[in-house]
Structure 1
């Protein structure tokens, strides 16, 4: 396994180390062209951590991630339960639809959703009689559309994985719970959920990582020029780096994002370890 590990460390480790290095430098367009660098220590970090707008974007990112993860896991769990109860042919059709959704390229999916909510010709506006309604004039409705796109794209993987986990729960345990007088929701809460706990925790962690760094949906759906009301940490880091040519500050934001995701990952892994699922 050593060659494969070495390649992975080279491909994944070097960019991360380079990112960390740039975050401690005054790195702008001149440094990019000349190759020179000026070390400034923690100045970039102090700049962003003392910026109230950075914390506003961070709070927005956390709230956006929380809503998206909750909807993805909740709807995915409901669909997985549905797949476990319907007939074989209905389950096959639903699985096929989910696979097609999962196989749709991200930019194509975003384009389709943009057409659905188009200001002039959008089907959604026509169905609800909204006339020429622009969904992205208001950040609340705009983020609602972006959330729909993110959740729609994440549901196939979550649903199919949860269905596989639920199908492995021994039927004897559920029958015993019903014999003891447990209702359907009680059996699900006390038997099914603990059995699929490790898979559910892993999917939640993956969803947090994916949704925390959402970029394409926000960027493309706002015409590649999102206003500051739509900034998430990934978008803010990108605009700071490539829009303002302040690569050191943008790199510092990216490092903070990595540290936040590592913290969330450690919390979930620790919970799994305390539950005896990880040794």
Structure 2
């Protein structure tokens, strides 16, 4: 009995994705390769003007970076900030989505319009608005709380709280609209059956809504972690381009090392370590996409 012939894979998806993949490789491959090479070199001001070029130092930049106590402090601060930002964004986003499910149609359209409007505001503008709201003498927040004058940025914890509020404010719209789109796809008969069994709102959310939306929630959480891990603009703009060391995240730390300390090799090593940390999160992201794609 002849064996069945193996079906040839359809090349159409590869042909369609090919141009985009080539563009991504062209745009990203050189910068990533250049940063990787710089991380193994001693690059400073003297090397910029020296005809001899930079000196190859192998893994010395990584050794120096990992031996720096400030680096570990910055890493811990970045991880904590990322967790708080992503967690608050998801909680508020899901809450707004549940609210949209319960209000009248005209109110829901108004909420969606406001969310899209907030999401469309550039980071620079939204950060400047929050900076004005928390201004020392005439900020509207200080006026509302009757604490004028008050310095929100003298303490890094309060300053980073403001930065967190900006990030969450910009992240909630996408999360809320996406989760609401998932909520309307839950089969009504599944909800009705749960209510007939005596399930209340919390039980329905815990045992019906969350299990059905778990892949989507995991995907949004992973994306939030990736975005929030790279937060730079909000903190940088709030502190007028000169944040104190208590405000450093990994991105700011690497930037300051490169352009203030003129140690481009060490800064490149920090950038490489940041990319490696994000690759681990991206693996989780790709797995979630695969799971959603395999869901019938």
Q: Does 1:3 align with 2:3?
A: no
Instruction: Write the distance in 1 (CA, Å) between the matches of 2:274 and 2:223.
Output: 15
1:25 and 2:41 correspond? yes
TM-score by length of 1: 0.95
1:1-279 superposed matches below 5 A:
1=16, 2-34=18-50, 36-267=53-284, 269-270=286-287, 277=292
Give the 3 Å change call, closer, same or farther, for CA 165–265 of structure 1 in structure 2. Answer: same
CA drift of 1:190 comes to 1.2
Query: Which entry has the higher C-alpha Rg, 1 or 2?
Result: 2
**Offset of residue 31 of structure 1:** 2.8
Q: Determine the C-alpha separation between the residues in 1 that align with 2:26 and 2:54.
A: 23
How far off its partner does 1:156 sit? Answer: 0.8
| Structure 2 counterpart SS, 1:152 | helix
CA contact (8 A) 2:138 2:148 kept: no
Say if 1:189 and 1:272 are closer, same or farther in 2 by CA, change over 3 A: farther
**Residue 203 of structure 1, CA deviation:** 0.8
Contact 2:215 2:288 in 1 (8 A): no
Q: What per-residue deviation string (whole Å, max 9, x for no partner) do you get for residues 55-89 of structure 1?
A: 00000000000000010000000000001111110
The TM-score with structure 2 as length reference comes to 0.90
What is the number of equivalent residue pairs in this alignment? Answer: 277
CA distance in 1, matches of 2:29, 2:168: 30
The alignment partner of 2:210 has SS state of helix
Q: 1:174 to 1:32 in 2, by over 3 A?
A: farther
Instruction: Give structure 1 stretches of 5+ with no counterpart.
Output: none
Cα separation, 1, equivalents of 2:281 and 2:168: 20
Unaligned runs of 5+ in 2: 1-15
How far off is 1:3 after superposition? 2.9
